[in-house]
Amino acid sequence: MLRRSLWILTALALVMAAASCRSTYPRRNPTGEAFPTVRGEALDGTAVVLPEVGRGAPLLLLVGYEQNTQFDLDRWLLGLSEAGVRVRAYEVPTLPGLLPGLASGWIDGGMRRGIPKEDWGGVVTVYGDAKAIAQFTGNADGLPGRVILLDRNGVVAWFHDRGYSVGALRALLAAVAALAT
């Protein structure tokens, strides 16, 4: 009986710890602000420092806070591909909190199973520095992706967090074109 009680108390403590490890930050538009320097790892094992990896050219970041955000980000990627957009882009699964960091190998393995190997270099997971991104864009209502276009200096030139739409894609295309001039 004592063993069972200890197990229940331990399980309850773990659940409470897990719940307290993830903070929610209000959504915000960071246009005009410098993107925070964060470290992540591409699914192919390459260490990536954002936004440094894009210095000198525009960089597009498609940030997702939840697994279900993938549908929104896939629509963005398809739209960008169909429109022929030529800008370096990364999908950035951003998982703040202690538990995601501890389960990073398992989470990344699951992503690798669902993403073709030739695309692994374009998916950069951020765990340890995820809080900085969550505070920067807000992670409240994490279902729609955060689409962030950075200028050549790592400053947010365009931001969208309301889900994919053709109108938003056109606005992004105009912003990319403006940065090319």
Q: pLDDT tens for residues 109-162?
A: 888 998 999 999 999 999 999 999 999 999 999 999 999 999 999 999 999 999
SS3 content of the chain, % helix, strand, coil (to 5): 45, 20, 35
Q: Is the pLDDT of residue 17 over 80?
A: no
Q: How confident is the model at residue 94 (pLDDT cuts 50, 70, 90)?
A: very high
What does the domain layout of the chain look like in residue ranges?
Answer: 34-180
Q: What is the 3-state secondary structure (H, E, C) of 128-180?
A: CCHHHHHHHHCCCCCCCCEEEEECCCCEEEEEECCCCCHHHHHHHHHHHHHHH
Mean confidence (pLDDT) of the chain = 88
**What CATH class is the domain 34-180?**
alpha beta
Length of the chain: 181
